[in-house]
Amino acid sequence: MPLTSEIKVTEDCNFPQEIQDKLTVHLKKAEVRLRELIGDAKYDELESASSGDQRDKAAQAESYLTAYYALPFLNLRVTEKGGFVMATGFEQSRNELMGKRELDGYRAGFFRQAMLLIKDFTLFENDEGDELDAGPLGMMTL
């Protein structure tokens, strides 16, 4: 069971409450990723703790990871005829969906924040150039 919830993700990431139902599927992805990073034993220990600084940090990190996984899907608008919309409305009512580069920047920010919160109890060494520091958009992926 995840350390966080849809409500906590919207609070931690400053998302509108209307998207809570769209976050549910991404909570499991975030839990799996956090378990990979800190290990099942540590995750279970944090899960069984009712409160505490480490549990709060891990829950917030899981919220950020949920946002990391959810953002690409929240940015999609599908037309009735199929395909994805880049802009809707006219003139002042016009709104455009975030571009891939900007979206990747926001995602990387959430990923980095999550890694900073759990850096004290990750399973991996924090070597220079490690994906833990660089996030998903580090030099290794370029």
pLDDT in tens, 52-74: 899 999 999 999 999 999 998 88
The number of domains in the chain is 1
Query: Helix or strand or coil: residue 88?
Result: strand
Q: In this structure, is residue 118 part of a structural domain?
A: yes
Q: In this structure, is residue 72 part of a structural domain?
A: yes
Q: In this structure, is residue 1 part of a structural domain?
A: no
Q: In this structure, is residue 12 part of a structural domain?
A: no
Q: In this structure, is residue 138 part of a structural domain?
A: no
pLDDT in tens, 80-136: 666 666 556 666 556 666 778 888 998 999 999 999 999 988 776 544 444 444 455
CB 121 within 8 A of CB 46: no
Q: In this structure, is residue 134 part of a structural domain?
A: no
Residue appearing with tokens 């769209």:
22
Per DSSP (E only), the strands in the chain are 87-88, 95-96
Residues spanned by the domain of 69: 17-88+96-123
Local structure of residue 97 (DSSP, 8 states)? P
Q: How far is CA 1 from CA 7, 25, 29, 31, 97, in A?
A: 15, 13, 11, 8, 32
Q: In this structure, is residue 66 part of a structural domain?
A: yes
